[in-house]
Amino acid sequence: MRDNNWLCIICGNQKKSIFYKEKRMPRNKISPGEAVCTGEIGARGRHGKIWKCDNCGFIYQEPTFSESELNIAYKGGTDEIYFEQFKEREYLFEKCLDRIHKFIKPPGKMLDIGCNAGIFLNVARRLGWKTWGIEPSSWAARVARERFELKVKTGVFETARYKPNSYDVITSWDVLEHFVDPVGVLDKMHKLLKKDGVLVLSTINIKSWFSRLLGPHWPWLIRIHLWYFTPKTFKRMVENSGFKVLWMGQQIRWFSFPYLLTRFTGKNFSWMPAISLPAPTGDIIYLVARKKAK
């Protein structure tokens, strides 16, 4: 199929083919509950048309809302049971920082984009980093400031003002797929990093064995995921923006069994023993890259 108003943001190609048809799309504006990945149960399996570039294979969703509507929804998003996974999230981020420290060590200045309630920044600060964050959810940013006493702005990264060449490390966990203009965001990250600064990103992997097994029923096919990466397209987009990828791998997360049941059914399973298990689905990939001179 050809759309003269569309160019692939990775390779510039115009030709695309339908990858998944539109599914269960409401005709109302996006809600704050939908703007939280682990939010409304009914939001799962609800998305617009999903396309695939015929040249490079990059996959994206046709937006079903404006950027301003999306930002309003993000601002109002809450996640009251986020901290039920506190120990598991801390463990994950400790492992991620172990990886980061193979390429750059504290002390130094670190900015986390889309920092949620600040668990990652709190761990990073404990390990010696000077930390800052930005988060669109008013609820999450407030929790980060009040619970952890972190320096976190409420707002969207695209319009936030920062001094160029200011940070040794920029991180962004599971956020790139949410930006309306991920290329512009990567370019801005490049400008904010110091010479030889390090970028750390994670995103969803539509080529995971779990995604291929579930096909159109994969739970990460939701309205707010605008871009669907594979390891190949993820690396290419980052390198196109002036970075050298140093390492890439999958992120294995741990979840307590009652937490997972609560997330996917909407019912309360807090009475169950909180046994944590690894989830090696391959759904999340992350990379470490270094800024190159443009």
Q: What's the distance, Cα to Cα, between the start and end of the chain in Å?
A: 35
pLDDT of residue 20: 96
Q: How far is CA 218 from CA 175, 213, 223, in A?
A: 18, 8, 13
Q: How far is CA 66 from CA 70, 71, 76, 180, 192, in A?
A: 6, 9, 16, 9, 27
Write the pLDDT tens digit of every residue in 88-146: 899 999 999 999 999 999 999 999 999 999 999 999 999 999 999 999 999 999 999 99
pLDDT of residue 24: 75
Three-class SS of 82-103: HHHHHHHHHHHHHHHHHHHCCC
pLDDT of residue 153: 98
* Residue-range domains of the chain with CATH: 16-291 (3.40.50.150)
In the DSSP assignment, the letter for residue 135 is E
pLDDT of residue 27: 59
Mean pLDDT of 233-240: 98
Write the pLDDT tens digit of every residue in 12-46: 999 999 999 998 776 567 888 787 765 554 466 78
In contact, 229 and 208? CB cutoff 8 Å: no
pLDDT of residue 293: 84
In the DSSP assignment, the letter for residue 294 is -
Residue whose token pair is 């120990």? 87
Residue 2 pLDDT greater than 70, yes or no: no
Mean pLDDT of 166-191: 98
Cα(71)–Cα(57) distance, integer angstroms: 28
CA angle 180, 62, 260 (to 5 degrees): 80
pLDDT of residue 244: 98
Cα(70)–Cα(243) distance, integer angstroms: 28
The pTM assigned to this predicted structure is 0.91
Please indicate whether residue 88 or residue 264 has the higher confidence score (pLDDT).
Answer: 88
Measured N-to-C along each axis, helices 138-148 and 119-126 cross at an angle, to the nearest 10 degrees, of: 30
**82 falls in which pLDDT band (50, 70, 90)?**
confident
Q: How far is CA 291 from CA 11, 139, 170, 235, in A?
A: 21, 32, 11, 14
Q: Which backbone phi and psi does 70 adopt, to 5 degrees?
A: -65, -45
pLDDT of residue 206: 98
